Chain A
Amino acid sequence: MSKDVFMFKKGDIILFGIILAIIVTSSIGVYYYRFDKGNFQKVAIIKQGDVVIEKIFIDDLNELTEIKLFENNDVIIHAENGRIRFYKSNCPDQVCVDSGWISKKGEMAVCLPYKVIIKIEGVDNEVDIITH
């Protein structure tokens, strides 16, 4: 093997720089989106495509709640106090079930074959009072 096999070349520095810049800027953006420690309540949103199927205030749950989707119950979602997950899915890849419980604002679990997404968002408490 020639000596300079792992020598980085001029262009690499530019490539790494661009990628690092994307990582850093997007991290800052996501950080502000997720860790905005305002006075909010966590709401889990279950969507299929752009249709919102259900919104659950997961912090208000006292017992396990089961949500069955589609006619054959192809996808079953479990929610309990403060967290939510894909419990069962008939999809072939099981990526959604493997994602496990999600509980923090900004987290999401996705079932690509059924186009179902669960995401947790923060809702201002003022808005919450009105909806209650």
Chain B
Amino acid sequence: MNKTKKLVLISLFISQALVLSIIESWVSIPIPVPGVKLGLANIITIIVIIFFSFKEALIVVIIRTMLASIFGGGGLIVFLFSCAGGVLSTIVMAGLYKVKYNIFSIVGISVAGAAAHNLGQILVAAFLMKDVTVITLLPLILTFGSLMGILVGIVSTFLEDKLKKARIFDV
């Protein structure tokens, strides 16, 4: 794949991830925990890990969270918060994807990524707010996050299949 094509594809993925994270910011979830999101943008992170590599996925995540906190509002602290979660989950997912013998399915990888995302955010929130009791939100967030991780994993599995058939990554 030449440089220009890669640049175009990565840019497209960033814009798709951005649209997903803006759409999910409109959806408020009826559980008594502040700021829980669906995590749809993770679909794009997984796809980039599959078709490119860890480095590209990291670029997509960082630029997406940066743009999302500019467009969706939130400022520096919210950016740091979502970036920390995103980066941690990308590290975990890319790591598991690279594990040999193919022992993890995309759904499994996605769930692990969601859990890493939640754990990272809780820790960053506890650190930023200087309040350890934030950790008591963990069970609810982790339960919800894992369920969403399964959904994201299923969607990513379908999307991977479609993209492979579309052959846009071939040349």
Q: Which residues of A contact B (CB under 8 A)?
A: 1-2, 5-12, 15-16, 19, 22-23, 26-27, 29-30, 33-34, 47, 49-50, 91-93, 95-96, 98-99, 102, 106-110, 112-113, 115, 117, 119, 121
Contacts and interface: CB of A to CB of B under 8 A. Distances in A.
Contacts of A92: 72-75, 78
Contact of B96 (A11, A16, A19, A34): A11
A110 B34 contact: yes
Interface of B: 25, 28, 32, 34-35, 72-75, 77-78, 81, 96, 99, 102-105, 107-108, 111-112, 115, 125, 128-131, 133-139, 142-143, 146, 154, 157-158, 161
A93 B72 contact: yes
A30 B138 contact: yes
Kindly name the residue among B35, B72, B134, B161 whose own CB sees the greatest number of chain A CB atoms within 10 A.
Answer: B35
Contacts of B72: 92-93
Given A23-B143, A26-B139, A115 B154 contact: no
Contact of B103 (A11, A93, A98): A11
